Chain A
Amino acid sequence: TQLLEQSPQFLSIQEGENLTVYCNSSSVFSSLQWYRQEPGEGPVLLVTVVTGGEVKKLKRLTFQFGDARKDSSLHITAAQPGDTGLYLCAGQHNNAGNMLTFGGGTRLMVKP
């Protein structure tokens, strides 16, 4: 079983603060995706990383894939209330038939 552990599970911060969410596994992934899900909606794809050490930026969000492709992080700079939501990491193994293995999620609340 390929497991993805996300931390922290819950995070409540004030507007303007920075935060980092971690996604760790003992397995190597061919790619890793980050999603954000809001209540009553499906997950929305934020980014896909595929190369060890890769860093991608999406406005105030920075995503990094570990050198060994076993872990990833999401850093948000100057968080805003609109960043509130459930953040999910999901890894893919090509030899597992394209399925995504999801982490348990990080529920972020940004207070104004």
Chain B
Amino acid sequence: EAGVTQSPTHLIKTRGQQVTLRCSPISGHTSVYWYQQALGLGLQFLLWYDEGEERNRGNFPPRFSGRQFPNYSSELNVNALELEDSALYLCASSLGGGRNQHFGDGTRLSIL
């Protein structure tokens, strides 16, 4: 069984640019979660999508947004990039109940 896949693995951007990260969940999983793992801050919850709808968002500004497609894959968009957005962005998926979230290997985003 294929795990959660994320693309790209690495990205380098400059301040003010926009970026789109992609995630494919485990087959059969309907919920997708996005987390940010920044140095020194640990893993912070960003967004939760289930059945194509945004269900919850963490304490992040509106320039962090995303969507979930009918095939349950998801995109995370970040506009007006700032230096502090440099982090590992992790996607996780689960069945509807939310327990047993399985993570991909993340996208490493570096802002210059």
Contact = CB atoms under 8 A, between A and B. Distances in A.
Given A40-B105, A42-B90, A42-B106, A101 B100 contact: no
Interface stretch (A20-28, A43-51, A65-73): A43-51
B72 interface: no
Contacts of A41: 105-106
B105 A98 contact: no
Interface in A34-91: 35, 40-45, 48, 50, 88, 90
Given A40-B105, A101-B45, 12 more contacts: A33-B99, A35-B103, A42-B90, A43-B90, A50-B99, A92-B98, A99-B45, A100-B33, A100-B43, A100-B101, A102-B43, A105-B42
A41 B106 CA distance: 7
Nearest to A98: B98
A112 interface: no
Interface string A93-110: 010111111111100000
Contacts of A105: 42
CB-CB nearest 5 A-B residue pairs: A98-B98, A97-B56, A42-B103, A102-B43, A99-B45
Interface residues of B, number: 26
Interface of B: 4, 31, 33, 35, 42-45, 48, 50, 55-56, 58, 90, 92, 94, 97-106
B104 A96 contact: no
Contacts of B90: 42-43
A42 B103 CA distance: 6
Nearest to A31: B99
